[in-house]
Amino acid sequence: MQFPDDPEAERAPSLVDTGALLRGLNPEQLAAVTLPAEPALILAGAGSGKTRVLTTRIAWLLQTGQVSPGGVMAVTFTNKAAKEMMTRLGAMLPVNVRGMWIGTFHGLCNRFLRAHWKQAGLSQTFQILDSGDSLSAVKRVIKAMNLDEERFVPKQVAWFIASCKEDGMRPGDVPVHDGQTQKMAEIYQAYQDQCEREGVVDFAELLLRTYELMRDDAMLREHYQRRFRHILVDEFQDTNRLQYLWLKMFAGPHTAVLAVGDDDQSIYAFRGAQVGNMSDFEREFRVKKVIKLERNYRSYGNILDAANALIAHNSRRLGKNLRTESGPGEPVRVQENASDFNEAQWVLEEAQQLHRGGMARHEIAILYRSNAQSRVIESALFNAGIPYRVYGGMRFFERAEIKHALAYLRLIENCHDDTSYLRVVNFPTRGIGARTLEQLQDAARQTGRSLWQSVGAVGGKGGANLAGFNALIDGMRNETQGLTLREIIEHMLHRSGLIDFYRTEKEGADRIENLEELVTAAEAFVTQEGFGKDAVALPVDELGPGSIAAPRSPDVPEAPAPVDLTPDAETGEIMSPLAAFLTHAALEAGDNQAQAGQDAIQLMTVHSAKGLEFDAVFITGLEEGLFPHENALSDADGLEEERRLMYVAITRARQRLYLSFSQTRMLHGQTRYNVKSRFLDELPESALKWLTPRTQGFGSGFARDYQAAWQRGSGLGSMVGAGRRNAGWQAPAEPPVPAAMKAAAAEAAGHGFKVGQSVFHAKFGEGVVVTLEGSGPDARAQVNFGRHGAKWLALSIAKLTPID
DNA sequence: TATAGTACATTTTTT
DNA sequence: ATGTACTATA
């Protein structure tokens, strides 16, 4: 699909020739790009050229001289989005993109706090905890407070603390209703004290600290509010409360905030995103101009018809309809499958056919609602020898061996980092057992000092080993003085014994490979950041007596990494390469699986597909209980978010869209009998093409499916085939099926058939009982005969033979 | 201290 | 079914 040129795209309020920049924008895009300098909201539909508008807007502001690079802030959620913005901007304009504040919320906060660490009450070398680090920190606090881990589940407490912070609450602000929350607030306080002591901050703290400093320091606030003439926020529908408050701090009376988002693509409520921020923004910032980008440049008409019809079932929308000028394209194909195994097989064959027809494998995506679904598909692809790539899973910097290596590096930087200390003090083992560590932690607790400082308090053999560990770290620190980052890491890997340890492990080869990869990553980081002989400090702003007028590198061809070499605002001091690398590792967890190179089919959850697009998309597992997920069905908001998720999935496809569901599916080691997703019923028939005959007996739509599912004893649309182990499901207060019908279903046991049972039919062959209804002469069964589809049979007439 | 066995949970995810 | 986290045992 091409972007047709717009001949009218030439008018800009400037003497500079901006024609090249604005050429090809449609009227709405042009209006968005050339908006006056005041708060505005852009409702950017999927595939409407949102990133292009954002980057062109910045380029246009710069080119027309309305703002200098230092006056622009652009915030994103992911490093990937930030990078892409910088790359595209760099391609549009020969500007030093590094002078601009383009980055993730967390990256920009880091930049801010590095410059103002003193005012923020942080240590100069503060390190950043990722979620795993912060969880183990919480665990230590709970232990130190002698609390019951059953009553205060570390995961939940960590979640509680993060949520408090994301609501802008300090321990003292927590509303206390009962003893439990009282205690939780106390844990929060203790956790906070511990972080303070260790010189570490968690992700939420980066934002909250920044917000508080801006709120409380009028000088600083006025400075930044004056500085940023333009703030652009990407994916605004994903902002949480704190991010919105944060934004309000940086936006001064003369700041033009441009919020870009799509309420229909809000799929992160579960992690605190507040779609309501969009309407709050419109009201509180007195937005005069709301621009809707509804023209879609990605997909053909049938795909958009499906998307529009589906999302129309949601209430509480800001309202938006996607349109295209590319024609209807091919119909959306729908496939019913007998089992998840068959579904995988079908997807695979269809994908192979597309590939043989000339479509690159990486242009084919297989999407699913939950990660567990990938397994069947993976094994099918694996057995067929088709290259594929799975997104998600362990990220590079989260791998155990990498975390171990980073812990050593962090101790070299800051030996009071107790989290890192505990992680590697006995890894590889050096005779320091649980007893010794217990004593060490007790001593540290009593004196309020770090573990490092408390080593002397432990006697005996354990104490000696602890002293040996401290000496090891000291030794590494001394020996790596003046070495390059690469040399530091290599030295540490050997000196710590990590390499030797993994050499003797049977599964160690991969881990050593990863550790080597760490060296490579550090090398790349150094090159990218411009460390080395002519390191260049970046200007933060013109604040303070010691501010630096930094020399600018004449040209920056490559996209810079999101971690900045931010100098201290007063002294101009910058971080050591090691410290900067550690920050980088915390803020950017790296790729999950760098199986780059090969042309492979892309497998991922619908969530991780957001923002991506493919020539062909398969949405699999469209079954009640799975998609929409059963856990989301308890309230209307949950269902609407599932529907938005489906909307996101549909709008990923450029040319071909396939929807599939399966009658049975292996989940948690048990077979579930599913009915097709209600979302399929919400799509317009005119846009669809059923590849399999529509199942008989399901003609009356969802209500019928629902009742059938109910009778089979499960919740909304699916049931567990054998056993009653998963007793978690609770019946809704008002069952939609009359009690008499349920009683009838119970009596039906007389005929001896069971759901899930294999049977043989003279004409249709082998099949599986999917549904049982009625009793006595009225007893009927829905049997799935695979190739012949599912049939409803009267048990008193049809001759069904059980197979075992 | 390492390994084997058991209990347990299992939507979605970025920083 | 499968992976993880924790406990019991050599």
d(CA A604, CA A229): 39
CA at A434, C1' at C10: how many angstroms apart?
18
| Same domain (yes/no): A651, A583 | no
- State the nucleotide closest to A132 in CA–C1' terms: B15
Sign of the torsion formed by the C-alpha atoms of A708, A710, A711 and A713: positive
Q: Is A46 annotated as a binding residue?
A: yes
- State the nucleotide closest to A139 in CA–C1' terms: C5
| Contact of A227 with A254, CB cutoff 8 Å | no
The residue out of A203, A231, A261 marking a domain boundary is A203
d(CA A231, CA A215): 18
- State the nucleotide closest to A427 in CA–C1' terms: B1
Count CB-CB contacts under 10 A for residue A513.
12
- State the nucleotide closest to A270 in CA–C1' terms: B12
Task: Evaluate whether residue A606 is within a structural domain.
Answer: yes
- Residue A351 to residues A238, A343, A386, A622, A689: CA-CA distances in angstroms? 33, 12, 10, 18, 17
- State the nucleotide closest to A109 in CA–C1' terms: B15
| Same domain (yes/no): A522, A448 | yes
How many structural domains compose chain A?
Answer: 4
| Same domain (yes/no): A578, A452 | yes
pLDDT of A596 reads: 59
DSSP string computed for A208-230: HHHHHHHHH-HHHHHHHHHH-SE
CA at A237, C1' at C6: how many angstroms apart?
40
d(CA A689, CA A681): 13
| Same domain (yes/no): A661, A690 | yes
Task: Evaluate whether residue A318 is within a structural domain.
Answer: no
| Contact of A293 with A266, CB cutoff 8 Å | no
CA at A616, C1' at B6: how many angstroms apart?
45
| Same domain (yes/no): A369, A452 | no
| Same domain (yes/no): A502, A599 | no
Q: Is A45 annotated as a binding residue?
A: yes
- CATH number, domain of A579, equals 1.10.486.10
- CATH number, domain of A764, equals 2.40.10
The residue out of A151, A186, A203 marking a domain boundary is A203
Q: Is A48 annotated as a binding residue?
A: yes
- Residue type present at position A290: V
| Same domain (yes/no): A370, A422 | no
- Nearest protein residue to B2's C1' (by CA)? A429
d(CA A97, CA A309): 41
Parallel/antiparallel/unpaired status of strands A364-368 and A614-619: parallel
3-state SS of A46-67? CCCCHHHHHHHHHHHHHHCCCC
Among the listed residues A68, A58, A67, A60, the one whose alpha carbon sits nearest the alpha carbon of residue A19:
A60
Q: What is the DSSP letter of A295?
A: B
Footprint of strand C on the protein (CB under 7 A): A 375, 666, 668-669
Sign of the torsion formed by the C-alpha atoms of A751, A757, A760 and A764: positive
CA at A492, C1' at B2: how many angstroms apart?
26
- Nearest protein residue to B9's C1' (by CA)? A668
| Same domain (yes/no): A408, A367 | no
The residue out of A673, A696, A719 marking a domain boundary is A696
| Same domain (yes/no): A352, A411 | no
| Same domain (yes/no): A369, A413 | no
CA at A371, C1' at C1: how many angstroms apart?
14
Among the listed residues A691, A675, A396, the one whose alpha carbon sits nearest the alpha carbon of residue A521:
A396
Task: Evaluate whether residue A336 is within a structural domain.
Answer: yes
Nearest 5°: phi and psi at A222?
A: -60, -40
Q: Is A269 annotated as a binding residue?
A: no
What 3-state DSSP class applies to A615?
A: strand
| Same domain (yes/no): A463, A512 | yes
Q: Which residues contact A103 (CB under 8 A, 6 or more apart)?
A: A74, A75, A76, A82, A111, A562, A564
pLDDT of A565 reads: 64
CA at A136, C1' at B4: how many angstroms apart?
26
- Nearest protein residue to B14's C1' (by CA)? A78
Chain centre to alpha carbon of residue A541 = 32
- Nearest protein residue to B1's C1' (by CA)? A433
Average pLDDT of adjacent 10-residue blocks, chain A of 804 residues:
36 62 94 97 97 96 93 96 93 81 97 96 93 91 87 91 95 91 94 93 97 97 97 98 97 97 96 96 96 97 98 94 96 97 97 97 98 95 94 88 94 93 92 88 90 91 92 96 94 94 82 92 81 40 35 34 64 85 90 70 96 97 95 92 98 98 93 93 97 59 42 40 30 32 42 77 76 71 67 76 76
- Residue type present at position A47: G
| Contact of A26 with A53, CB cutoff 8 Å | no
Nearest 5°: phi and psi at A761?
A: -125, 140
CA at A6, C1' at B3: how many angstroms apart?
70
- State the nucleotide closest to A162 in CA–C1' terms: B15
- CATH number, domain of A611, equals 3.40.50.300
Enter the tokens of residue A682.
């919400």
Task: Evaluate whether residue A550 is within a structural domain.
Answer: no
pLDDT of A504 reads: 84
Parallel/antiparallel/unpaired status of strands A670-674 and A289-293: unpaired
Parent domain of A794:
753-802
- CATH number, domain of A177, equals 1.10.10.160
Mark the nucleotides of strand B covered by protein, meaning any atom under 7 Å from a CB: 1-2, 10-15
| Same domain (yes/no): A520, A510 | yes
- State the nucleotide closest to A669 in CA–C1' terms: C1
pLDDT of A572 reads: 75
Enter the tokens of residue A729.
């499901």
- Residue type present at position A438: E
Specify whether the backbone of A763 is left (phi greater than 0), alpha (psi in -120 to 50) or beta. Answer: alpha
pLDDT of A642 reads: 97
Footprint of strand B on the protein (CB under 7 A): A 77-80, 104-107, 130-131, 203, 267-268, 270-271, 369-372, 392, 426, 429-434, 587-589, 604-605, 607-608, 629, 631-632, 638, 668-669, 726
| Contact of A168 with A208, CB cutoff 8 Å | yes
Task: Evaluate whether residue A401 is within a structural domain.
Answer: yes
CA at A507, C1' at B4: how many angstroms apart?
18
Task: Evaluate whether residue A170 is within a structural domain.
Answer: yes
Mark the nucleotides of strand C covered by protein, meaning any atom under 7 Å from a CB: 1-2
d(CA A162, CA A140): 16
| Contact of A107 with A562, CB cutoff 8 Å | yes
CA at A370, C1' at B8: how many angstroms apart?
20
| Contact of A588 with A528, CB cutoff 8 Å | no
Enter the tokens of residue A56.
């062109």
Biggest CA–CA distance in chain A, Å, is 94
d(CA A15, CA A23): 16
Catalytic residues of A: 50-51, 234-235, 265, 652
- Nearest protein residue to B10's C1' (by CA)? A668
Task: Evaluate whether residue A321 is within a structural domain.
Answer: no
Task: Evaluate whether residue A340 is within a structural domain.
Answer: yes
Among the listed residues A697, A84, A716, A773, the one whose alpha carbon sits nearest the alpha carbon of residue A336:
A697
- Nearest protein residue to B11's C1' (by CA)? A370
Q: What is the Cα gyration radius of chain A?
A: 30
